[in-house]
Amino acid sequence: MGKLRIGIIGLGTVGSGVYKTLQGNDSVEIVKIAVKNLNKPRSVNVPADIITDNPDEVIKNPSIDVVVELIGGVNPAYEYLETAIKNGKHIVTANKELLAKRGEELFNLAEEYNKVVLYEAAIAGGIPIIMPIKTILAGNKINKIHAILNGTTNYILTKMDTEGASYEDVLKEAQALGYAETDPTGDVEGFDAAYKITTLATIAFKKRVKIENVYREGITKIRKEDMAKANELGFKIKLIASAEIDDNGNADVRVHPMLVSKDNMLAHIDYVTNAVLISGHPIGSIVLSGPGAGEFPTASSVVGDILAIAAEFGKTDYMLPMMRCNHTQKANPVKIEDTYNKYYISITAPNAIGVIAKIGTICANKNISLSSILQKGVSEDNTADITVITETCQEKLIREVVEELKDCTVNSLIRVAS
């Protein structure tokens, strides 16, 4: 067999990494690369005859076997891949948003045309996670995932923790260093992690999870005071993407900050590193950790998918059956208000007799037990800083508690990882 002939859409950070990594590879030939702007400065020198600003030269090119999509977003990426599949191309993509929002359509179309869609790079950058779940871990019944899937937010939270800095100050530093975008909304509000956990939960649970059923909360309200208190209590604050499913197919999938015990390995995943903790039977619990983004880590996963296709290409009429999507059943979504969690609550209250007793009474009336309640000093304005940690209780009840604390200011309400 000759070389696998590929076309690439997008020559940004990841695309450049893929191009560099494939140089000298004997099994793959890059036929065409489509870019938006031919004159944009790039870190790679690409021969003029293989670069184009017309995506049709990739997606409709009869000599190309695989289209590698690295532009991100839903549109026009979906239309490009739809056309490519209908023109007989296999697909490799790093597009987490596309998979979360239109993955079902894409996989169904690929199956109709007997093509494969591989997407290892879309979940955790350079960390191998999709192929291990589909192959080595295929005999397991996975029921829980806790993961750190966004390097930008993990970097910000780590710097806030280690330096006692505010969110606003660390964000500016992260933007200056290139860890955060000029508009950081996709990262800091949890969208990026939500897209990733949607697809990861679908694959792990073998039931389709819808992005609109994933609860999402970002890190913009986390204060340096919360970081200090968490440390005193034996925790770190992390943006956790979590997914749990019960025996009836009820899936609780969400992204939000959590207090993570220092005894938990995820508490020690710092800066731009990502990690995925998977629990199930018979494996128990395992953690996969590594670089979750960047030119070469992400390129590593993209190239791995390309070479997986190259190894099978032309040898079978039904390529990579274990890697295909066959999730016909949908998970039953669990609403956040129906979940059960422990909570950290930071309260500023008037320094008056009976305030702590009042907080305890409000919680007791909701059948909420308190693990700890701590007051440290009195401020110049005669207010007290009170920290409460609850036992496990229902989300809708803790929200009612917050509403009833009318004489107090609730500064932070953060869930505690189980």
Tell me the pLDDT tens digit for each residue of 164-199. Answer: 999 999 999 999 988 899 999 999 999 999 999 999
Instruction: Just list the catalytic residues.
Output: 196
Q: In this prediction, what percent of the chain has a pLDDT beyond 70?
A: 100
Q: Which fold has domain 4-125+295-323?
A: Rossmann fold (3.40.50)
pLDDT band at 154 (very low <50, low <70, confident <90, very high): very high
- Tell me, what DSSP letter sits at residue 330? B
Can you tell me the mean pLDDT for 373-377? Answer: 85
Amino acid sitting at position 230 = A
pLDDT band at 418 (very low <50, low <70, confident <90, very high): confident
Q: Can you give the pLDDT at residue 178?
A: 85
- Residue ranges matching CATH 3.30.360.10 in the chain: 130-292
Instruction: Judge whether residue 326 has pLDDT over 80.
Output: no
Query: Looking at residue 376, what is its pLDDT?
Result: 81
Determine the Cα–Cα distance for residues 252 and 412; give it in Å rounded to an integer: 22
Q: Is the pTM of this model over 0.85?
A: yes
Q: Give the CATH fold of the 130-292 domain.
A: Dihydrodipicolinate Reductase; domain 2 (3.30.360)
Cα-trace Rg, the chain: 24
Largest CA distance in the chain: 83
* H-helix segments, 30-144: 56-59, 77-86, 96-112, 121-124, 130-134
Half-sphere exposure of 182 (CA within 13 A, CB side): 0
Determine what percent of the chain falls in helix, strand and coil, rounding each to the nearest 5: 40, 30, 35
Name the DSSP class of 120.
T
Determine the CATH number of domain 336-416: 3.30.70.260
Q: Using CA atoms, how far apart are residues 384 and 355, in angstroms rounded to an integer?
A: 9
Mean pLDDT of the chain: 95
| Mean pLDDT value of segment 235-260 | 98
Predicted pLDDT at 351: 85
How many angstroms from the chain centroid is the CA of residue 234?
A: 25
Looking at the chain, the domain(s) classified CATH 3.40.50.720 span 4-125+295-323
Q: What is the pLDDT of residue 327?
A: 76
| Band (377; pLDDT cuts 50, 70, 90) | confident
Q: How far apart are the C-alpha atoms of 230 and 236, rounded to whole Å?
A: 6
Residue 325 — pLDDT band, cuts 50, 70, 90? confident
Compute the distance between CA of residue 270 and CA of residue 228 in angstroms, rounded to an integer.
16
Has residue 1 got a pLDDT over 80?
no
Answer yes or no: is pLDDT of 136 > 80: yes
**pLDDT per residue as tens digits for the range 19-78:** 999 999 999 999 999 999 999 999 899 999 999 999 999 999 999 999 999 999 999 999
pLDDT digits (tens, 9 = 90+) for 302-323: 999 999 999 999 999 999 999 9
Structure tokens at 325: 């999507």
The segment(s) of the chain belonging to CATH 3.30.70.260 are: 336-416
CA distance 102 to 80: 13
